């Protein structure tokens, strides 16, 4: 189970409904982690049930439903959960955040929007920062070439998705003095460098906010501050990892 840090399990709070793992999600979580058939999908795979896209049958490991271009309720729920967790981390850092629930990707250039907009982020030359969340499968699951589906992707698939997002949003947002960052994560918990950098900046803001709140402004930048920031950064990464695990498991519903 090297694909996901088990430390994220420390972030579980059974009393918090939004992130509580139900029995079905736990089964799904461990089946996907171990590569075992998912009970919810096994019968569909045996019966060769077609996906809503009408191009592929559902596989017992849930690989296709993660990569299918036909958006379904599980995919939207999974994506939105990861997006909302990133929003909460931004708010913990003291930022004012706006969520774009209806993302426009095919609109005119002036109306294209990413998922999340953080006001007055502090990047020189820009007013705000927008990021757009995307979950990427580590396995090939929507190929028409025989024998490829189910195999691990060997290319730089995180950067490939980041380039798509940058081409779609970056220039149009820059024209409005808004910076853009792709928030790309794989369903096994890998984080694209640009989103990892954003998490670090948010963590730094959050730690500065905390030290100011408790009256320890003089300690900002010293060794104690750095250790506190590192601890918070590790926790925030685990929170994102948990959100990805929860969001990915919702894909199969």
Q: Which residues of 51-62 are buried (b: 16+ CB within 10 A; e: fewer)?
A: beeeebebbbbb
**What is the per-residue pLDDT for 13?**
52
CA nearest neighbour of 248 among 86, 52, 63: 63
Euclidean distance between CA atoms 109 and 34, whole angstroms: 43
The pLDDT of residue 73 is 67
Residue pair 226/169 in contact by the 8 Å Cβ criterion: no
As a whole number of angstroms, the distance between CA 222 and CA 204 comes to 13
Predicted local confidence at residue 48, as pLDDT:
85
8 Å CB contact between 156 and 144: no
Helices and strands counted in the chain (H then E): 7, 4
CA distance 111 to 170: 13
Residue 14, pLDDT > 80, answer no
Rounded to the nearest integer, the mean pLDDT of the chain is: 82
Q: What is the largest CA-CA distance in the chain?
A: 66
- Domain ranges within the chain, ordered by starting residue: 71-250
**What pLDDT sits at residue 7?**
44
Query: pLDDT per residue over 89-119, tens digit each?
Result: 999 999 999 998 765 544 445 556 789 999 9
pLDDT band at 3 (very low <50, low <70, confident <90, very high): very low
Element (H, E) at 132: strand 128-136
Report pTM. 0.81
Q: pLDDT, tens digit, for every residue of 59-79?
A: 887 777 777 767 666 677 888
Token output for 205 = 């803001």
């Amino acid at each position: 189970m090297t694909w996901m840090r088990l430390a994220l399990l420390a972030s579980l709070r059974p009393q918090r409904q939004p992130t509580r793992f139900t029995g079905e999600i736990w089964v799904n979580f461990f089946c996907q982690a171990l590569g075992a058939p998912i009970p919810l999908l096994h019968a569909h795979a045996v019966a060769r049930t077609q996906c809503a896209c009408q191009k592929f049958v559902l596989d017992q490991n849930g690989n296709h439903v993660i990569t299918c271009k036909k958006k379904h309720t599980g995919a939207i729920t999974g994506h939105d959960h990861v997006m909302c967790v990133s929003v909460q981390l931004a708010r913990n850092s003291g930022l004012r955040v706006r969520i774009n629930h209806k993302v426009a990707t095919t609109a005119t250039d002036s109306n294209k929007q990413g998922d999340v907009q953080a006001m007055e982020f502090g990047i020189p030359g820009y007013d705000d920062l927008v990021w757009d969340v995307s979950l990427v499968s580590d396995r090939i699951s929507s190929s028409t070439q025989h024998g490829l589906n189910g195999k691990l992707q060997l290319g730089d698939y995180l950067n490939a998705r980041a380039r798509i997002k940058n081409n779609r949003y970056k220039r149009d947002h820059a024209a409005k003095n808004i910076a853009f960052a792709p928030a790309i994560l794989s369903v096994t918990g890998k984080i694209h460098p640009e989103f990892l950098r954003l998490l670090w900046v948010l963590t730094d803001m959050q730690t500065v906010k905390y030290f100011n709140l408790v009256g320890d402004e003089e300690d900002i930048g010293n060794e104690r501050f750095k250790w506190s920031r590192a601890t918070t950064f590790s926790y925030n990464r685990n929170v994102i990892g948990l959100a990805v695990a929860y969001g990915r498991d919702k894909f199969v519903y």
